[in-house]
């Protein structure tokens, strides 16, 4: 086929033409909102129409806003629980389910992963029923097994709201992260274990000297994504606590606060300031995590 100049041009520009819908949509719905929100964070707004320039006033107000402080504290507590409870449990489960002597491993893997398939909204509704005082399954079980009063108000008592959230998120995410660890464990060279055994290493030493270094890239990835996910927590508490922040704002997270200020109070400017603070915070924490774990230096990462 003889190529005309039109088709020669096509060969040159067609790739750009094909990626242009993505670029256009990404610019409109991705890049523009980012810069718009940065601009908005310098205004007090009532929706996008009415706005008054306040410079860094929104960020200054954040520093003395008790609700923002509560949201930061709750989010950090939740993130710490995710890192120090969820990930060790996921890893433990993964190690257990990678043991060849365990029968029905495939079934257990599926069973632990399943909660992830149904989504946060469903899980929140489900646990909302399970946590009901007097008649809920959790209270009835705690009463019949441990004699704990069955009118324990998990979602009405400020000191029990966070444990309830953590418990719910554990049910949902332990199995999910377990899958990553399972995949990583399968990639660890078995000869290293044999060599360690020959050198007289016990199980604990094998875990710290062989397993952990072997799965470090995946562990860093899970650590960073779990932390970012924790800082983005919204649907779970929002639905579980009946569209509220819970008693004494005990379930208020940063994203929930962002939503409330932006879409309940109507101040998109202040919500943008909260959003940018959150984004910068998550970025800094992720960088620290990567630095601590050595992922930055490219050591196996």
Partner 1 sequence: MPSFPYGKAAFSFVIMALISGLFVTFHRVESRKTTLTMWTFAETHYAAYRKAIPSFEAAHPGVTVKVEHVNGQAVTSRLQAAFHANLNVPDVVEVEISSAGSFFRGPLEHVGFLDLTDRVKQSGLWDKMIQARFAPYMTHGRIFGLPHDVHPVMLACRRDLLEKAGVDMNRIETWDDFIKIGRKVTIPGKQYLLELSDSGTDNIEVMLFQRGGGYFDPQGKCSFDNEIAVQTMLFYVPLVAGKDKIGSTLGANQILTQAVEQGYMLCLFAPDWRTKGLEQDIPRMSGNMALMPLPALKPGGLRTSTWGGTMLGITKKSEHPDLAWELAQHLYLDKPQLAERFRDTNILPCLREAWNQAAFQEPRPYWSNQKLGAMYAELAPQVPFQYSSPYIVTAKAKFGEALVSCVQYYNANGESGFEEYARKRLKQSANEVRNLSARNPYQ
Q: Which residues bind partner 1 (CB under 8 A)?
A: 1-4, 7, 10-11, 14, 44, 46-50, 52, 61, 66-67, 132-135, 149, 151, 153, 156-158, 243-245, 247-249, 263-267, 270
Looking at beta carbons only, is 69 or 291 nearer to partner 1? 69
56 vs 110, beta carbon nearer partner 1 = 56
For partner 1, give the closer residue by CB, 3 or 194.
3
What minimum distance in Å lies between the beta carbon of 256 and partner 1?
A: 12
Sign of dihedral through CA atoms 245, 251, 257, 263?
negative
What DSSP designation does 248 have? G
Q: How far apart are CA 145 and CA 124, in angstroms?
A: 25
Rounded least distance, CB 4 to partner 1, Å: 6
Q: How far is the CB of 160 from partner 1 (least distance, A)?
A: 11
DSSP 51-110: EEE-TTHHHHHHHT-HHHHHHHHHHHHHHHHIIIIIHHHHHHHHHHHT-TT-TTHHHHHH
CB nearer to partner 1: give 14 or 28.
14
Evaluate whether 300 touches 293 at the Cβ level (below 8 Å): no
Cβ–Cβ contacts within 10 Å for residue 87, how many?
A: 21
Instruction: In angstroms, give the least distance from the CB of 80 to partner 1.
Output: 24
259-294 exposure pattern, b = at least 16 Cβ within 10 A, e = fewer: ebbbeeeebbbbbbbbbbbbeeebeebbeebbeebe
Minimum separation from the CB atom of position 106 to partner 1 (A): 37
CB of residue 264 vs partner 1: minimum separation in angstroms?
A: 6
| Distance from C-alpha of 146 to C-alpha of 168, rounded to nearest angstrom | 20
Cα-based torsion angle of the residue sequence 277, 283, 289, 295 in order, rounded to the nearest 10 degrees? 180
């Amino acid at each position: 086929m003889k190529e005309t100049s039109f088709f020669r041009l096509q060969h040159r520009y067609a790739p750009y033409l094909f990626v242009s819908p993505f670029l256009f949509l990404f610019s409109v719905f991705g890049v523009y909102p980012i810069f718009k929100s940065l601009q908005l964070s310098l205004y007090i707004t009532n929706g996008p129409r009415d706005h008054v320039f306040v410079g860094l006033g929104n960020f200054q107000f954040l520093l003395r806003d008790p609700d923002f402080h509560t949201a930061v504290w709750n989010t950090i507590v939740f993130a710490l629980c995710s890192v120090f409870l969820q990930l060790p449990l996921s890893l433990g489960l993964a190690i257990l389910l990678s043991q060849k002597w365990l029968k029905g491993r495939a079934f257990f893997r599926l069973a632990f992963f399943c909660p992830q398939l149904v989504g946060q909204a469903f899980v929140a509704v489900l646990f909302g029923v399970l946590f009901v005082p007097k008649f809920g399954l959790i209270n009835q079980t705690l009463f019949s097994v441990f004699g704990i009063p069955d009118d324990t108000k998990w979602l009405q008592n400020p000191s029990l709201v966070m444990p309830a959230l953590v418990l719910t998120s554990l049910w949902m995410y332990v199995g999910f992260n377990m899958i990553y660890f399972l995949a990583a464990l399968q990639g660890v060279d078995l000869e290293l274990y044999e060599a360690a055994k020959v050198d007289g290493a016990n199980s604990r030493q094998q875990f710290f000297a062989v397993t952990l270094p072997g799965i470090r890239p995946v562990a860093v990835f899970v650590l960073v994504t779990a932390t970012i996910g924790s800082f983005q927590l919204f649907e779970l508490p929002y639905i579980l606590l009946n569209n509220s922040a819970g008693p004494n704002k005990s379930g208020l997270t940063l994203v929930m606060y962002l939503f409330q200020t932006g879409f309940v109070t109507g101040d998109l400017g202040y919500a943008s300031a909260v959003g940018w603070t959150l984004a910068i915070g998550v970025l800094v924490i992720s960088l620290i995590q990567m630095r601590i774990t050595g992922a930055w230096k490219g050591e196996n990462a």
